[in-house]
Chain A
Amino acid sequence: MPQESPYYQFPEGLPAFEQHRSFRLVREPSFDPLLFLVSGSDPGLRFICVQVRFIAPEYCYELDQAGAAVLGVAPGRYGAADERFGCLAILSFPSDEPATANLLAPVVIHYANRAGLQAVQTGGVWSHAQPVVLMEGA
């Protein structure tokens, strides 16, 4: 049975999908640990994601003033393992190439505030097309 989270508000949408302002996470056990990020306005729009801590346990991201305001937290540096937040990497599955994860722009969800955004990072070492290596224990 699929399990669905509440809807999270994304006031800025996602890059290239700015008109989609709410998303929920859907878990289908056969896809664990992958999750589906599904648009509230168009269920046909979905992204396959994974918690970043499962592919890069040491991953950290910056929330600038604007991004922090969206989530209702203080600006600063946060770790992917911070349990107040979901820190998700959107995955791509090109037909003839290995799957990649977008670690340049993690989707960050503040569970308690039911708010989210895609936090595009600057000046980091992570790519928008990082090869996916799921870690043991995910």
Chain B
Amino acid sequence: MLVIRRRAGESLILSGGVEIAVLELSAHGVKLGISAPADVTVLRNEVYLAQRANRQAAETAIGDRAKKLLDSFRQMSGPSQMAS
């Protein structure tokens, strides 16, 4: 990983016309400003991971695989409950 030290008010440039500026440093975190072309997607990492997990979940929502999980679970569980 490339590590660059920047202060508030300074920025860095990525190819493709992307600029990331350090706007503010505080005890709560770092506030960044990002300038990028409209076709560049900017996501918080957590949202990116959630997107990826959702795509995988949709592709693998296969009953037979879920049944395998349930087979092991039912050996140790009691009566089931339904979400209200």
Residues in A lying within 8 Å of B, measured CB to CB: 3, 5, 14-17, 25, 27, 29, 31-36, 45-48, 51, 83, 86, 88, 90-95, 99-100, 102, 104-105, 111, 118, 120-122, 128-129, 132, 134, 136-138
Contact (Cβ within 8 A) B66 A128: no
Residues in B lying within 8 Å of A, measured CB to CB: 44, 46-47, 49-58, 60-63, 65-67, 69-70, 73, 76-78, 80-84
Contact (Cβ within 8 A) A92 B53: yes
Contact (Cβ within 8 A) B61 A102: no
Contacts of B67 in A (CB 8 A): 31
- Among A31, A90, A111, the residue within 8 A (CB) of B66 is A31
Contacts of A138 in B (CB 8 A): 73, 77, 80-81
Number of residue pairs spanning A and B whose beta carbons lie under 8 angstroms apart: 115
Contacts of B80 in A (CB 8 A): 29, 32-33, 138
Contact (Cβ within 8 A) A95 B60: yes
Tell me, in angstroms, the Cα distance from A46 to B63 when the chains sit together. 11
Contact (Cβ within 8 A) B83 A48: no
Contact (Cβ within 8 A) B66 A102: no
Q: Assuming A33-B77, A33-B81, A129-B53, what are 10 further A-B pairs, CB within 8 angstroms?
A: A17-B58, A31-B63, A31-B66, A34-B70, A35-B83, A45-B58, A46-B58, A91-B57, A104-B46, A128-B49
Contacts of A90 in B (CB 8 A): 53-54, 57
- Among A48, A86, A120, the residue within 8 A (CB) of B50 is A120
- B60: nearest chain-A partner, CB-CB: A93
Evaluate whether A32 and B49 lie within 8 angstroms (CB atoms) in the complex, with A92-B60, A99-B65, A136-B77 already known. Answer: no
Contacts of B49 in A (CB 8 A): 104-105, 128
